[in-house]
A and B are shown apart, each in its own frame.
Chain A
Amino acid sequence: MRATEPSEKTVRYAAAFFDNEHDLMAIAAEARLRGFEIQDVFTPYPIHGMDRAVGLKRSRLGWIAFVAGALGLISAILLQVWTSAYDWPLNVGGKPFNSFPLFVPVMFELTVLFSGLISIGVLFMMNRLWIMSKKKIFEGVTDDRFILVLKQEDASFDTEKAARLFKKYNAIKVMEGDKFV
């Protein structure tokens, strides 16, 4: 199976369509363990355990949310202490200018606001989700199709072995091409 010289390095993709999550999960796990490179899988809903099947690491977005929250907290402290105690201190009912305990509610709210907005913004950026997006959308993926895309980067890709695997897990349809994702 040496269709191309390794030096040319053509990247081709093979997409297999399945009609249920169990086949997809099993083929993803087997394909990875047998040394295929999985480009991605596409599903109508998030599948529990799929990250482990395709060998995806845990997302670091949780840390981003934490840092963003800390940023919100610091901003709230600076904003309230500076405006109330330094920039224009006002005597309100004889309370101290820096009434720190009374600043806690706004501190909490801004922590949540920053953390939520920044983490969703980073999510949209990392996945390039935006209104003018021109991504490839597989037919039926938002309905009831489960799709595995294998990446065929060099000559080591065993087409026959891939075809056997697709058959074993009842692929409905297989597509090949050089531009998928």
Chain B
Amino acid sequence: MAAVFRDIETVREEEIRLQSEIDRITAHPVYSPLREPLIDESKACSDVTNDISGLLERPASKGWWILFGLSFSLLIAGIVAAINTVYFGIGTWGLNKTVGWAFGITNFVFWIGIGHAGTFISAILYLFGQKWRTSINRSAEAMTLIAVMCAGIFPILHMGRPWLFYWIMPYPNTRGSLWVNFRSPLLWDFFAISTYFTISLVFWYLGLVPDLATARDRATNKARKIFYTVLSLGWNGSNRTWSRYETVYGVLAALATPLVLSVHSIVSFDFATSLVPGWHSTIFPPYFVAGAVFSGFAMVTTLLIPVRKVMHLEGYITVQHLDNMCKITLLTGSIVGLSYLTELFIGFYSGNPNEIFVILNRMGGPYAWAYWIMFSCNAFIPQLFWFKAFRTRIPLILSLCILVNVGMWFERFVIIVTSLHRDYLPSSWAIFIPTLTDVGLLVGSFGLFFTAFLIFLRLFPVISMNEVKGVLHYARD
């Protein structure tokens, strides 16, 4: 009798132990009551699928076609300018013997900088566990890829014989083999940007695969079914796959983080390793990286505000998201402002007459208007984001972000042109005046950017459904 009781007792103890083990494994995270849900509280998993995949299944709206028409006409202007450049040569640009770099390199640095926000959101915020990134990372990464493509066009055109651009790659050739010069920052640029593009592309694609599978499983028409079946690689949501997927996603985030910092540092070496006053400065790498993230966040915000409105994504990209992005713009904008002041201080403190001349020439020379546009848009305007009213009113956010974009384009213009146009030899001083081809290429790059982004909106889920589903419970239960 006693033995039976003892057995029952052991079984009960065993059950209790088992239950506590299960409870330990399945413990929920506890959220502070101060946390707010990231996504509109009424959304369930199937709502996310319907809302985001549904966008791809409906025919394009009238608004989309109008925007597409506008962007595409800008792109056509750019194509005409590019053909003009290739056919007649770089002489069609406003460059001269003194100012050998102007719009082309300005646009290149500007677009590369825009790309940095996408990687910042997808990789750095991921490593820091910022779960609000899930609503915006997909479109920000798409923006990165498109911006890097826009940027890549300019150095290739600037080569003069763009059809020989592959000569920059170190491959065994019939010219010797004559190898590339690995000591040149322009070559480092090639490696940095092609690596950046490749890693951003695979990172973006890896995140897309589970969502493409969702699109595949919902597709009713044959062409769509084939398109998404091929791209989704037979994804079936298995936990073994997810487990490895998350490991690789983390690895890519850890690789992309130093990568994004390296890319704009290397771009800044194009200037910093020269002996030109105003360029020859050790502050350039951090200053360029901060400026890149700053301009990139302004561009993401500029893009997402109309997207969330037109595609009815207010429940996913909330005012809280915009508020957070404004805060990062404020932080990076303040770093940029501090860099401007540091540059001024160090210029004067150096006692070097050439450095001092460049600063005075920037502030009061023929391009002073560009300098002051840059200074006010980048150092003063973002300071308004200290006030909550400016971070939560959408028309205000949009206008400030557009001003920041303008300011950051002028920053690159000021750095490049004002340092070159009055160099060590006053007899060769010159003024750069852009030609129609220069303007056409600038406008065309915006055309390419918006056209490609609009096509992205029609082909791929604009919000990462699988990641958003994972944060639906955040601070809600």
Contacts and interface: CB of A to CB of B under 8 A. Distances in A.
B433 interface: no
A128 B234 CA distance: 8
| A47, A119, A181 — most chain B CB neighbours (10 Å) | A119
Contacts of B45: 44, 143-144
Contacts of A87: 177, 179
Nearest to A90: B181
| B25, B214, B243 — most chain A CB neighbours (10 Å) | B25
B262 interface: yes
A25 to B, nearest CB: 5
Interface in A125-167: 126-131, 133-138, 141-144, 147
B262 A109 contact: yes
Contact of A56 (B26, B203, B243, B465): B243
Interface string A102-127: 11011011101101110110011011
Contact of A115 (B217, B251, B466): B251
B242 interface: yes
A95 interface: yes
Contact of B239 (A43, A92, A135): A43
A87 to B, nearest CB: 7
Contacts of A59: 243-244, 247
Interface string B208-222: 011001101110000
Contacts of B130: none
**Interface band, chain A:** 35 or more
B236 A138 contact: yes
B25 A65 contact: no
Secondary structure call for the B interface: helix
Given A26-B26, A49-B25, A83 B234 contact: no
A53 B22 CA distance: 8
B25 A127 contact: no
A34 B18 contact: yes
Given A43-B242, A119-B252, A127-B244, A142 B217 contact: yes
A109 B236 contact: no
**Interface band, chain B:** 35 or more
A127 B192 CA distance: 30
B251 A43 contact: no
Contact of A133 (B44, B202, B218, B234): B234
B233 A105 contact: no
Interface string A46-76: 1111111110100101100100010000000
Nearest to A115: B255
A33 B18 contact: yes
Given A134-B234, A135-B236, A137-B236, A26 B248 contact: no
B240 A127 contact: yes
Contact of A120 (B177, B248, B269, B470): B248
9 contacts: A29-B26, A42-B237, A45-B467, A50-B242, A83-B182, A105-B269, A142-B210, A142-B237, A143-B45
The 9 closest A-B pairs by CB, nearest first: A133-B234, A144-B45, A83-B179, A129-B233, A142-B214, A105-B188, A45-B470, A46-B242, A109-B191
